[in-house]
Amino acid sequence: MKKITVILGLFLWYSVSFAQINFPIQASKNGHYFIDNAQKPIYLCGDTPWQLIVDLKKSEAEEYFEARKKQGYNAILVDILSEEKEIKQVDCQCNPFGKENFVDMNEAYFDHAEWVVQTAQQKGFVVLLTVAYWGCCSDEEGWRNELIATTSLPVLEKYGAYLGKRFAKFKNLIWVLGGDASKGKEKFEAIQEGIRSQDPKSVFTYHTREDELASEHHIDLTYNGVYAYTSERIYRLTERGYMVKKPMPIIYTEGFYDDLIGSGFHGWNWTPTMQSHFIHHQMYTFLLSGGLGGFINGHLKMWSFPNNWREYINGTNSPAMIYFYEFMNRIKWWTLQPDFDQSKNSVISSNRGKYGGSQYIPVATSKEDGLLIAFIPATSDGSQRTFTINYAKFKPKSGYWLNPANGQREVMQSIPANGTFTAPRREGTTSDWVFVLQK
Indicate if 249 and 362 belong to the same structural domain: no
* E strand or H helix that includes residue 21: none
Last residue of a domain, one of 305, 333, 361: 333
The three-class DSSP label of residue 388 is strand
Provide the domain limits for residue 247: 16-333
Query: How far apart are alpha carbons 265 and 78 in whole angstroms?
Result: 21
Indicate if 328 and 350 belong to the same structural domain: no
Q: Give the pLDDT of residue 19.
A: 62
Domain membership flag for residue 6: no
Whether residue 10 has pLDDT greater than 80? no
Q: What percent of the chain has pLDDT over 90?
A: 64
Read off the pLDDT of each residue in 314-342 and give the average, rounded to a whole number. 86
Indicate if 165 and 28 belong to the same structural domain: yes
Q: Give the pLDDT of residue 287.
A: 97
Domain membership flag for residue 126: yes
Domain membership flag for residue 9: no
Domain membership flag for residue 372: yes
Residue 23 to residues 38, 72, 341: CA-CA distances in angstroms?
8, 17, 37
| Whether 65 contacts 34, CB under 8 Å | no
Question: What letter represents residue 315's amino acid?
Answer: G
Last residue of a domain, one of 333, 355, 389: 333
Indicate if 377 and 303 belong to the same structural domain: no
- How do residues 73-123 score in pLDDT, each as one tens digit? 999 999 999 877 777 888 889 999 999 999 999 999 999 999 999 999 999
Indicate if 232 and 357 belong to the same structural domain: no
Q: Give the pLDDT of residue 286.
A: 95
Read off the pLDDT of each residue in 190-197 and give the average, rounded to a whole number. 98
Whether residue 422 has pLDDT greater than 90? yes
- How do residues 142-161 score in pLDDT, each as one tens digit? 899 999 999 999 999 999 99
Indicate if 216 and 90 belong to the same structural domain: yes
- CATH code of the domain containing 287: 3.20.20.80
Domain membership flag for residue 7: no
Q: How many domains are there within the chain?
A: 2
Q: Give the pLDDT of residue 4.
A: 40
Indicate if 346 and 211 belong to the same structural domain: no
Q: Give the pLDDT of residue 56.
A: 95
What band does 8 get if pLDDT is binned at 50, 70 and 90? very low
Q: CA angle, corner 126, sides to 122 and 127, nearest 5?
A: 100
Indicate if 237 and 321 belong to the same structural domain: yes
Last residue of a domain, one of 277, 302, 333: 333
| Whether 321 contacts 286, CB under 8 Å | no
User: What mean pLDDT is reported for the chain?
Assistant: 88
Using the Cα atoms of residue 243, residue 279, residue 203 and residue 80 in order, give the sign of their dihedral. positive
Domain membership flag for residue 10: no
Whether residue 11 has pLDDT greater than 60? no
3-state helix, strand, coil in the chain (%, to 5): 30, 20, 50
- CATH code of the domain containing 394: 2.60.40
- How do residues 18-47 score in pLDDT, each as one tens digit? 568 999 999 999 999 999 999 999 999 999
Estimate the crossing angle of helix 58-70 against helix 107-122, to 10 degrees: 30
Domain membership flag for residue 11: no
Read off the pLDDT of each residue in 399-426 and give the average, rounded to a whole number. 93
Read off the pLDDT of each residue in 299-318 and give the average, rounded to a whole number. 81
Read off the pLDDT of each residue in 235-247 and give the average, rounded to a whole number. 94
The three-class DSSP label of residue 96 is coil
Partners of 173 in beta bridges: 127
Domain membership flag for residue 4: no
Q: Give the pLDDT of residue 267.
A: 66
Whether residue 170 has pLDDT greater than 90? yes
More confident residue, 372 or 380: 372
Indicate if 245 and 366 belong to the same structural domain: no
- How do residues 46-81 score in pLDDT, each as one tens digit? 999 999 999 999 999 999 999 999 888 999 999 999
Indicate if 295 and 358 belong to the same structural domain: no
- How do residues 199-239 score in pLDDT, each as one tens digit? 999 999 999 888 889 998 877 899 999 887 777 789 999 99
Intra-chain end-to-end CA distance of the chain, in Å = 18
Question: What letter represents residue 45's amino acid?
Answer: C
Read off the pLDDT of each residue in 289-318 and give the average, rounded to a whole number. 85
| Whether 338 contacts 288, CB under 8 Å | yes
More confident residue, 155 or 268: 155
Indicate if 320 and 413 belong to the same structural domain: no
Read off the pLDDT of each residue in 123-147 and give the average, rounded to a whole number. 90
Whether residue 1 has pLDDT greater than 60? no
Q: Give the pLDDT of residue 141.
A: 80
Q: Give the pLDDT of residue 334.
A: 97
* E strand or H helix that includes residue 6: strand 3-7
Indicate if 270 and 416 belong to the same structural domain: no
Dmax over Cα atoms in the chain, in whole Å?
74
Q: Give the pLDDT of residue 32.
A: 97
